Amino acid sequence: MELKRKQGEQISSFLYRFSKKIQQSGILREAKKRRHKDRSTSKRQKRLSAIYRVKKKKEVEKAKKMGTL
Protein backbone atom coordinates (compact mmCIF):
# COMPACT_ATOMS: atom_id res chain seq x y z
CA MET A 1 0.00 0.00 0.00
CA GLU A 2 1.40 3.34 -0.97
CA LEU A 3 0.19 6.76 0.13
CA LYS A 4 1.75 10.05 -0.78
CA ARG A 5 1.64 13.11 1.37
CA LYS A 6 -0.54 15.82 -0.10
CA GLN A 7 1.00 19.22 -0.63
CA GLY A 8 0.73 21.28 2.55
CA GLU A 9 -0.59 18.32 4.57
CA GLN A 10 0.64 18.09 8.13
CA ILE A 11 2.50 15.00 9.28
CA SER A 12 -0.11 14.23 11.95
CA SER A 13 -3.00 14.30 9.47
CA PHE A 14 -1.00 12.19 7.02
CA LEU A 15 -0.29 9.58 9.73
CA TYR A 16 -3.96 9.58 10.69
CA ARG A 17 -4.98 9.01 7.07
CA PHE A 18 -2.34 6.30 6.66
CA SER A 19 -3.37 4.42 9.81
CA LYS A 20 -7.02 4.65 8.78
CA LYS A 21 -6.22 3.07 5.38
CA ILE A 22 -4.18 0.30 7.01
CA GLN A 23 -7.02 -0.57 9.40
CA GLN A 24 -9.62 -0.56 6.65
CA SER A 25 -7.54 -2.79 4.40
CA GLY A 26 -7.07 -5.43 7.13
CA ILE A 27 -3.30 -5.64 6.64
CA LEU A 28 -2.54 -4.95 10.28
CA ARG A 29 -5.02 -7.57 11.54
CA GLU A 30 -3.55 -10.17 9.18
CA ALA A 31 0.02 -9.36 10.26
CA LYS A 32 -0.87 -9.71 13.94
CA LYS A 33 -2.61 -13.01 13.27
CA ARG A 34 0.41 -14.42 11.45
CA ARG A 35 2.86 -13.24 14.10
CA HIS A 36 1.32 -15.43 16.80
CA LYS A 37 0.46 -18.45 14.69
CA ASP A 38 1.50 -21.74 16.27
CA ARG A 39 2.87 -24.66 14.37
CA SER A 40 0.39 -27.40 13.57
CA THR A 41 0.71 -30.51 15.70
CA SER A 42 2.00 -33.72 14.19
CA LYS A 43 -0.13 -36.82 13.69
CA ARG A 44 1.75 -38.58 16.47
CA GLN A 45 1.13 -35.74 18.91
CA LYS A 46 -2.59 -35.64 18.05
CA ARG A 47 -2.88 -39.39 18.58
CA LEU A 48 -1.08 -39.27 21.93
CA SER A 49 -3.29 -36.40 23.03
CA ALA A 50 -6.42 -38.34 22.11
CA ILE A 51 -5.21 -41.41 24.00
CA TYR A 52 -4.49 -39.27 27.07
CA ARG A 53 -7.99 -37.71 26.95
CA VAL A 54 -9.65 -41.13 26.75
CA LYS A 55 -7.54 -42.40 29.66
CA LYS A 56 -8.41 -39.40 31.83
CA LYS A 57 -12.11 -39.71 30.97
CA LYS A 58 -12.10 -43.35 32.09
CA GLU A 59 -10.36 -42.40 35.35
CA VAL A 60 -12.98 -39.72 36.07
CA GLU A 61 -15.85 -42.12 35.34
CA LYS A 62 -14.31 -44.74 37.62
CA ALA A 63 -13.86 -42.18 40.41
CA LYS A 64 -17.50 -41.07 40.06
CA LYS A 65 -18.70 -44.68 40.33
CA MET A 66 -16.60 -45.23 43.44
CA GLY A 67 -17.82 -41.97 44.95
CA THR A 68 -14.38 -40.42 45.39
CA LEU A 69 -15.08 -37.57 43.01
Task: Give the separation between CA 13 and CA 19, rounded to whole angstroms.
Answer: 10
Domain-wise residue ranges, the chain:
8-37, 41-69
Global pTM reads 0.45
- Tell me the pLDDT tens digit for each residue of 2-50: 888 999 999 999 999 999 998 899 888 888 888 877 788 899 999 999 9
pLDDT for residue 62:
95
CB 27 within 8 A of CB 1: yes
Higher pLDDT, 58 or 34: 58
- Looking at residue 5, the DSSP 8-state letter turns out to be P
pLDDT for residue 60:
96
